[in-house]
């Protein structure tokens, strides 16, 4: 029994599959729980195969699932594996009810990659995908694409397909992603979080028409949202240089921009938008149309509480 929790759904699922080793689990989403999913674990396999159940987004468990889980954990199958993945908002924790069920019976583990460790994580993903990525290229990838692990993993695979058998250095990363990461997605985020809905939709349409990778676009939006949450949590009177260090930003001018955008949102709105990003990631990976999914996300960000957009344009870079 293993409960994995953290802010990124991609990292959670990867950690779950790694923990299960070569066992192929049955996978079910927490919100889609209908009852009886644990029965497969308690029933021996006809061919003696190892059994495993992986529950993603277990935070969305209905109350009936909690009761089933409690009954199962009272006498769990000794030769079966159960892994729950709980996606939490920034600085969040797993639901106390789930923790009470699991602690003492199974393992609870946080899954995260600190910002400073992202380049090393990218290099590890590149080695696993057999992409010859230079260390400086990994750093450039984080700076250009953003901090979303799913988007970074996709970018590594894109580089492997674009430059097979080549040593991928910083120059190739910038050639492949600079326009997307540093200008177009930046502009999209400025307009969306600046509550300029028409401008954000135009920026999104331009990215999609240029065949921008939807997961990379979503990764840029997710990275901006995390920056806003970090900046908003810091005292308003803190000097910009101190804010930049505390929030892990590269430049002081980013603090002014992010503070101005963060003031447009209440803390609970930012937390709700984190859920919208997670849902968009799930929808894209399930094959939903990227123009529909990303347009809905941009609209959710750019609209005010009453559903009307604020057309004031954001400051220029």
Q: Could you give all domains of the chain from N- to C-terminal order, each with its CATH number? A: 2-110 (3.40.50.300), 116-302 (1.20.272.10)
* pLDDT tens, position by position, 180-232: 544 578 889 989 999 999 989 988 988 888 777 898 899 889 989 999 999 99
Q: How far apart are CA 183 and CA 197, in angstroms?
A: 18
Cβ contacts of 67 within 8 Å, gap of 6 or more? none
Tokens 């992202």 belong to 118
Q: How far apart are CA 275 and CA 84, in angstroms?
A: 18
Closest CA to 31 of 67, 5, 65: 65
Indicate left, alpha or beta for 132 from its phi (over 0: left) and psi (-120 to 50: alpha): beta
pLDDT of residue 313: 35
* pLDDT tens, position by position, 247-269: 888 667 778 889 889 989 998 89
* pLDDT tens, position by position, 26-38: 888 888 888 888 8
* pLDDT tens, position by position, 89-99: 777 889 999 99
pTM value is 0.62
Q: How far apart are CA 167 and CA 149, in angstroms?
A: 22
Start-to-end Cα distance in the chain:
49
State CA 228 to chain mean position distance.
15
Assess whether pLDDT exceeds 70 at residue 306.
no
C-alpha Rg value of the chain to the nearest Å: 21
Query: At 54, which helix (H) or strand (E)?
Result: strand 51-56
Adjacent-strand bridge partners of 133: 168
Mean pLDDT, all residues of the chain: 86
pLDDT of residue 60: 86
Q: How many residues does the chain have?
A: 317
């Amino acid at each position: 029994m293993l409960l994995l929790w953290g802010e990124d759904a991609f990292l959670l699922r990867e950690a779950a599959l790694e923990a299960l080793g070569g066992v192929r689990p049955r996978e079910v989403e927490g919100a889609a729980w209908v009852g009886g999913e644990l029965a497969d674990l308690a029933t021996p396999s006809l061919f003696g195969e190892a059994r495993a159940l992986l529950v993603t987004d277990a935070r969305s468990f209905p109350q009936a699932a909690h009761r089933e889980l409690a009954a199962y954990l009272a006498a769990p199958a000794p030769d079966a594996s159960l892994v729950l993945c709980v996606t939490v908002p920034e600085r969040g924790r797993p639901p106390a009810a789930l923790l009470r069920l699991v602690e003492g019976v199974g393992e609870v583990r946080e899954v995260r990659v600190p910002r400073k460790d992202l380049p090393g994580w990218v290099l590890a993903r590149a080695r696993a995908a057999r992409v010859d990525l230079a260390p400086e290229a990994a750093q450039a990838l984080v700076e250009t694409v953003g901090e979303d692990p799913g988007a970074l993993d996709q970018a590594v695979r894109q580089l492997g397909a674009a430059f097979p058998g080549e040593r991928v250095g910083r120059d190739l990363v910038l050639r492949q992603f600079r326009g997307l990461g540093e200008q177009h997605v930046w502009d999209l985020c400025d307009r969306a979080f600046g509550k300029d809905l028409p401008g954000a939709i135009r920026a999104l349409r331009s990215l999609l028409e240029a065949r921008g990778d939807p997961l990379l676009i979503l990764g840029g939006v997710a990275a901006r949202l995390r920056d806003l949450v970090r900046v908003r949590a810091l005292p308003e009177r803190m000097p910009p240089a101190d804010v930049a260090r505390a929030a892990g930003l590269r430049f002081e001018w980013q603090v002014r921009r992010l503070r101005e955008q963060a003031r447009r949102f209440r803390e609970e709105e930012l937390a709700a938008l984190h859920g919208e990003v997670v849902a968009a990631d799930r929808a894209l990976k399930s094959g939903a149309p990227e123009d529909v999914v990303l347009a809905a996300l941009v609209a959710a960000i750019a609209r005010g509480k009453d559903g009307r957009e604020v057309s004031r344009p954001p400051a220029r870079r």
